[in-house]
Amino acid sequence: MATKHILIVPGDGIGQEVTTEGKRVLEKIASVFGHTFSFDEALVGHAAIEATGDPLPAETLDKMKKSDAILFGAVGHPKYDNDPSAKVRPEQGLLRMRKELGLYANLRPIKLFDELLSASSIKPEILKGADILFFRELTGDIYFGEKGRKNNGDTAFDIAEYSRYEVERIGRKAFEAARTRSKRLCSVDKANVIETSRLWREVIQKLALEYPDVTVDHQFVDATAMLLIKDPRRFDVVVTANLFGDILTDEASQIAGSMGMLASASIGDGPGVYEPIHGSAHDITGKGIANPLASILSAALLLDISFGLKAESNAVIKAVEALLKEGFRSADIADANTPADKILNTAAIGEEVLKRIGK
């Protein structure tokens, strides 16, 4: 029996709507499995700017640091999308949160539910059974090194840097995850050309000696980009640097078909942050039709990764699978064959998940 404190940070737009359902699922898990979860809520993004002038108020950060895990919604508002020069912006809240909480690994499970095979642009026979867990490094690489211009601005440079320590700490997380899955790890780099990649490979090879039960495959990023589409089932746990991970995880998200289904986790040494990969979706905000399953699957990740509650996490995933099997869909994942009475709104999808937990 676990006693944990969870901070709910809904943010903006549909972030509010979907996070409500994620929280309801966590409450249901606590009651079915006999855990004690306490909840608090905090502002971020546009909602926080409106209330305090700051996209990540000190009070929010303080609550985050005191929590055991954070269920996050999304940030963003059309006001800023149309005004790139705005000095205070919702996404600053997101970036500062990552930095302040020292979140160095972004985990993205890419799992296609069989019932949604037709929603992907890749052939069903190639996709069926694909189940990949990406580990993208978040704090190093070309994003954070020295950058600038020379030759009167006609030449630009961005320095990519990685330390042994940075590669090792995410490498360990990936090896440990591989141990709990199929014991296969694919490390992606460009060690034939890039020096940071040569260090990356050296560190992963050394770590591999500590995990003799895990089979490691080193792959070049260009080959990985091709193989992800050609044969996604060959991958299980994948670990890679910040830039390669940025590109490969977006490519891989298409394997799962819809944005409304994909969850992610950002972890560091403190509380983990669990959030859908989608944004605040202004086009559907307030209509009650947002798909809450990415937030609900983020709650499942939270249970597994931050609390080690594997059975509870699986109970959530099984409930989602069951409702999809019975034909229930939110509008974004419905197709021409979905009967009108099976297309449910946000709260009703949440309700269907709750009904199936503990059965």
- Dihedral angle computed from the Cα positions of residues 49, 50, 53 and 57, in that order, rounded to the nearest 10 degrees: -60
Which of 65, 83, 143, 318 is flagged as catalytic? 143
CA distances to 63, 107, 185, 336, 358 from 268, rounded to whole Å, are 17, 11, 20, 43, 31
Residues 6+ apart with CB under 8 A from 118: 124, 335
| Shortest distance, position 46 Cβ to ligand NAD, whole Å | 8
Residue number with CB closer to ligand NAD (23 or 278): 278
Least distance to ligand NAD, CB of residue 121, Å: 15
* Pairing of β 263-267 and β 105-111: antiparallel
Is 259 a residue that touches ligand NAD (CB under 6 A)?
yes
Q: Which of 40, 114, 158, 222 is catalytic?
A: 222
> Which one of the spans 136-144, 223-231, 235-243, 275-283 is the region binding ligand NAD (CB under 6 A)?
275-283
Determine if 190 is a binding residue for ligand NAD (CB under 6 A).
Answer: no
Min. distance of Cβ 61 from ligand NAD in angstroms?
A: 17
Assigned token pair, 238: 């994948």
Cα distance from N-terminal residue to C-terminal residue, the chain = 19
Amino acid letter, 19: T
Is 106 within 8 Å of 264 (Cβ atoms)?
A: yes
306 binds ligand NAD per the rule CB under 6 A? no
Annotation says 143 is catalytic: yes
* Beta strand residue intervals within 165-317, DSSP E: 184-189, 215-220, 237-240, 263-267, 272-276
From the list 238, 281, 320, 354, which residue makes contact with ligand NAD (rule: CB under 6 A)? 281
Of 61-69, 114-122, 280-288, 308-316, which segment contacts ligand NAD by CB under 6 A?
Answer: 280-288
Confirm whether 141 is a catalytic residue.
no
For ligand NAD, how many residues bind (rule: CB under 6 A)? 22
Residue 36 DSSP symbol: E
Among 29, 49, 167, 290, binds ligand NAD (CB under 6 A): 290
CB 32 within 8 A of CB 357: yes
For ligand NAD, give the closer residue by CB, 208 or 331: 331
CA pair distance 306, 312, nearest whole angstrom: 12
**Does 231 qualify as catalytic in the annotation?**
no
Q: Is the dihedral of CA 233, 138, 76, 79 positive or negative?
A: negative
Asked if 350 touches ligand NAD (CB under 6 A), the answer is: no
User: Could you say which residues in the range 37-96 bind ligand NAD, by CB under 6 A?
Assistant: 74-77, 81, 91, 94
Least distance (Å) between residue 315 CB and ligand NAD: 22
Scan residues 321-340 and list those touching ligand NAD (CB under 6 A): 332
Selected range binding ligand NAD among 177-185, 215-223, 241-249, 274-282, rule: CB under 6 A: 274-282
61 Cβ contact partners less than 8 Å away, ≥ 6 residues apart: 96, 97, 100
**Three-class DSSP category at 64:** helix
By C-alpha distance, which of 273, 275, 271 is closest to 296?
275
Question: Is residue 315 near ligand NAD by the rule CB under 6 A?
Answer: no
Tell me: does residue 284 bind ligand NAD (CB under 6 A). yes
278 binds ligand NAD (CB under 6 A): yes
Q: Which is nearer to ligand NAD, 188 or 263 (CB)?
A: 263
Binding site for ligand NAD (CB under 6 A): 14, 18, 74-77, 81, 91, 94, 259-260, 278-284, 290-291, 294, 332
Q: Annotated catalytic sites, by residue?
A: 143, 190, 222, 246, 250
